[in-house]
Structure 1
Amino acid sequence: MIIELQPNSFSPEQTTIWSFPDRGKWATHSGRYRGNWSPYVPRNLILRYSKPGDWILDQFLGSGTTLVEAKLLNRNAVGIDINPQSISLSETNLNFKCETQSKIFVRKGDATDLSFIKDDKIDFICTHPPYSNIIKYSTDINGDLSLLDEDAFFKAINKVAKEAYRVLKKGKYCAVMIGDKRYRGNIVPLGFTLMQKYLDVGFKLKEIIIKEQHNCKSTTKWIGVKRNFLMLAHEYIFIFYK
């Protein structure tokens, strides 16, 4: 049974530094799905860049966090994911009653091909793609970006960005969160490379938000280990404008 449908205390973020030590467990939110974002992130983004009744798109549905927030905040939403397990989990998480009249749709699909959506139909895109192959969400699903190395990943992200630009209405916003990774001790700048892919297809850059990471499972293995690098503790939220 769901007891609380809204956070106990919430105030919109006012700067470009965001930090949510309390991950947020209202409605059906939980941290059990590895790599999903805190619901405070889409809540802030949805409230700032959309209005009630708008259509929101999440191209990487995951466990449905963005769509749960859209439902709670009286926005309509479409979420897609290439992984059937994600679709099933999201449908479960979205199966609750609230007083809003939102239309919420979950669809198995590929973020690089949104042909089921016509041009200029979406009011806001709010999404959190995998960070290349840091966390693999499947073993053999064709088109799963979490299985790709950096080169293949960014070829796919170019298509993701093109489709996002096509379906988004002019004058509207697209928010994408991503972090960097390390390889042999050196930084692989996934964030800024993704940012450039979106700029290359025509988006303008409205904001760069730095989000502090909390409760990262990979951090514990480095505690007490001598190393010649700093542990990554931030992610980027890019706000693009069409």
Structure 2
Amino acid sequence: MAKYNDLDPKKWKEYSDINTDSLWLIEKRDNSGAHSGDYHGNFVPQIPHQLFTRYTKKGDWILDPFMGSGTSLIEAQRLGRNSIGIDLQPDVVQEAEERIRTEQRKNCIVRTVTGDSRTVNIEEVMSSVGIDKLQFVMMHPPYWDIIKFSDNEKDLSNTSTLDEFLESFGQVIDNSTKYLEKNRYCACVIGDKYANSQVIPLGFYCMNQFMERGFLLKAILVKNFGETKGKANQQGIWRYRAITNDFYIFKHEYIFVFKKVK
């Protein structure tokens, strides 16, 4: 048995539901129970479900510094993991708490925090639940300014330049992963951007933020995505634009998995 998960190597043939390929084709978002697709910019629960199954054990502690609607925390509960979630917006945190409570597990601890993940005192939150280390960090940051999540100037979606976005994201990495246990894992879900007639490889810029800090890159997973709220019922228009211009329509995003070795 691996030190970082509960999977039994002797039963490997039974784990047919666990993705081991680098291409993830997820047909439909899991909207069961507390999960909802209403929050603008949330990600599919199958992503944290797969990652937590592969890289954590029951009783481990997971941190999500971009909690949003609480997708990661709900999946952590379902799998018997403890979790901490952080978000800038008080109303978003309140809504996430309501979702999480509908699936509250007796043996799981969940803590939500309203604050800036670049500077919030995570150690204080950890101390309140009696821990000093985390076993996984799950990040799903804004894809820069593609979606504006709030009017808060501290919101990464309101950064005015790419450099400012990356600097702020790097600060989140520093503040959250310093509590990550050595030889444990973190992941980042991120997509690219198209602006000024060119592709901005936002995913790989974010990947480099981890690698510059000494993390080992363990996986680059490519996940499909379909119609987004911003392009709802506009598939024909976007196809016309693509054919009559020189670009391709984004239908994928990345899941980067890293290991902390320093």
C-alpha contact (below 8 Å) 2:62/2:135 kept by paired residues? yes
Shift of 1:206: 0.8
Task: In structure 1, list runs of 5 or more residues that go unmatched.
Answer: 1-9
Q: Which amino acid aligns with 2:65?
A: Q
> 2:239 maps to what in 1?
223
Q: Which amino acid aligns with 2:56?
A: S
Task: In structure 2, list runs of 5 or more residues that go unmatched.
Answer: 1-15
- Report sequence identity in percent: 37
Closer/same/farther in 2, CA of residues 100 and 26 from structure 1, 3 Å limit: farther
How many Å separate the matches in 1 of 2:155 and 2:62? 22
Q: Which amino acid aligns with 1:241?
A: K
Q: Rg larger in 1 or in 2?
A: 2
How many Å separate the matches in 1 of 2:158 and 2:223? 25
With 117-126 and 55-64 compared, the bigger mean Cα shift is at 117-126
> 1:206 maps to what in 2?
218
How many Å separate the matches in 1 of 2:52 and 2:175? 20
2:85 pairs with 1:79: yes
How does 1:112-191 map onto structure 2 within 5 Å?
112-117=118-123, 121-139=133-151, 141-148=152-159, 149-191=161-203
> 1:192 maps to what in 2?
204
Query: SS where residue 94 of structure 1 aligns?
Result: helix
Q: Which amino acid aligns with 2:196?
A: R
C-alpha contact (below 8 Å) 1:74/1:100 kept by paired residues? no
> 1:233 maps to what in 2?
251
How many Å separate the matches in 1 of 2:90 and 2:102? 20
Query: SS where residue 224 of structure 1 aligns?
Result: helix
Q: Which amino acid aligns with 1:147?
A: N
Shift of 1:95: 1.6
Tell me which of 41, 50, 53 is aligned to 1:47: 53
Closer/same/farther in 2, CA of residues 187 and 120 from structure 1, 3 Å limit: farther
Whichever structure has more helix as a proportion of its residues is 2
- Normalising by structure 1, report the TM-score: 0.90
- Normalising by structure 2, report the TM-score: 0.84
Shift of 1:30: 1.5
